[in-house]
Amino acid sequence: MIKVGINGFGVIGRRVAYAISKQDDMELLGIGKTSPDYKAKIGIEKGFNFYVPEDSHKQKFEKSGFSVSGSIDDLINNSDIIVDATPGSLGEMYREKYLNAKTPALFQGGESKDLAEVSFVAQCNYEKSNGKNVVRVVSCNTTGLSRVLSSIDKNHGISKVTSVIARRAVDPDLPKGMVDSVSLDPVSVPSHHGPDVTTILPELDIVTMAIKIPTTHNHVHSLIIDLKNSSTTPDSIIDTLKNTPRVMLVSSKNGVKSTAHTFDLGRELGRDRGDIYESMVWEDSITVIGDRAYMYMAVAQEAIVLPENVDAIRSVLQTAPREESIKKTNDSLCIGGPTS
Ligand code: NAD
């Protein structure tokens, strides 16, 4: 059993904890957390062990009637691998700790690419993380784009990609108040997403622009893809995406017309927290005019990187080859479709 420690128990860390506890080759050793809030309470009821950064945090936990299992340093030393899901700014500090303890670590997409030796999306570059010490599971948008674009490039050839991203302003659990604006995020072009995709697909010519909109559920991409193969048809792209792991085709013909519907779809599927782990592409948006393809894609920001975190553990520790890991992860999270 691989002993996994998770540092940070927010939007991503909580979901990774759930996903790890579903793997038959992994044991969730414990979770690094700073505050004894309702999330810690429910975690303790589920049998999770919590570790804290400082003595002051330990006192806060004990004052609330929660016991802690040790310090985050203990967790780091006793784990085979750490999944770091702390806020973006802490990566540099924790990286030192992980390296000193000789415990390999996965960081998340909020960290700079330079913090890690490799950026990771399972179906694109699984083997590159084999035996590495520090790996970055890329952000939700980069994961969503990389899956879809790598497959379209492989099957139809891409000469250039443009994506305009309408981004959720905040996550649903953040009480940041009402947002009554469309915020250019950033004003300058490109947004960071396109360059980030090239950490996974270095040959891809991609430009992204992003605006934040007053919603909490899902990002939506308007994708414009210049194709090398001018005989590509919408049906052939649909066929390609049907055969791409972790891509879900949705359709307005079945009533999926907005992010309200993609959000509801996750709950209707009976997934944990209503999470959707796949890149969702609207089948009936896929259009080809000349040598240019157009489509809309939604990304459930809280969930899409979960399977990648699980696969990255097996890749770093070299306990399973790509296809076997993707299959194990998919089966455990009820993700259907192909695995290679
Ligand atoms: P979050 O703020 O929801 O959670 C961060 C957690 O870390 C919290 O539980 C916080 O209490 C804890 N923490 C704070 N300081 C700590 C410390 N010193 N030691 C240990 N834990 C500490 O953040 P998040 O949204 O889960 O994001 C985590 C990472 O995942 C970021 O890099 C982010 O960019 C990336 N990411 C986020 C999303 C998303 O949509 N939220 C999607 C993909 C990737």
Local confidence band at 106 (pLDDT 50, 70, 90 cut-offs): very high
Note the pTM of the prediction, 2 decimals. 0.97
Which residue has its alpha carbon closest to ligand 1 atom 39? 302
> 50-68 pLDDT, tens per residue?
999 999 999 999 999 999 9
Please say if 140 is a catalytic residue.
yes
> 69-98 pLDDT, tens per residue?
999 999 999 999 999 999 987 899 999 999
User: Do residues 264 and 218 make contact, with C-beta atoms less than 8 angstroms apart?
Assistant: no
> 223-264 pLDDT, tens per residue?
999 999 989 999 999 999 999 999 999 999 999 999 999 999
Backbone angles phi, psi at 189, to 5 degrees: -115, 135
CA–centroid distance, residue 9 to ligand 1 (Å): 7
C-alpha–C-alpha distance, residues 150 and 42, integer Å: 39
State which of 42, 50, 86 you would mutate to test the pocket of ligand 1, scoring each by most atoms of that ligand within 8 A of its C-beta.
86
Task: Give every CB contact of residue 335 below 8 A, 6+ residues apart in sequence.
Answer: 246, 277, 278, 307, 329
C-alpha–C-alpha distance, residues 254 and 23, integer Å: 33
Both structure tokens of 24: 């038959």
Q: Is the pLDDT of residue 205 over 80?
A: yes
**Alpha carbon of 234 to those of 35, 130, 243, 271, 338: distances in Å?**
50, 36, 14, 30, 20
State which of 12, 89, 301 you would mutate to test the pocket of ligand 1, scoring each by most atoms of that ligand within 8 A of its C-beta.
12
Catalytic site residue from 140, 165, 305, 310: 140
CA–centroid distance, residue 181 to ligand 1 (Å): 25
Which residue has its alpha carbon closest to ligand 1 atom 27? 87
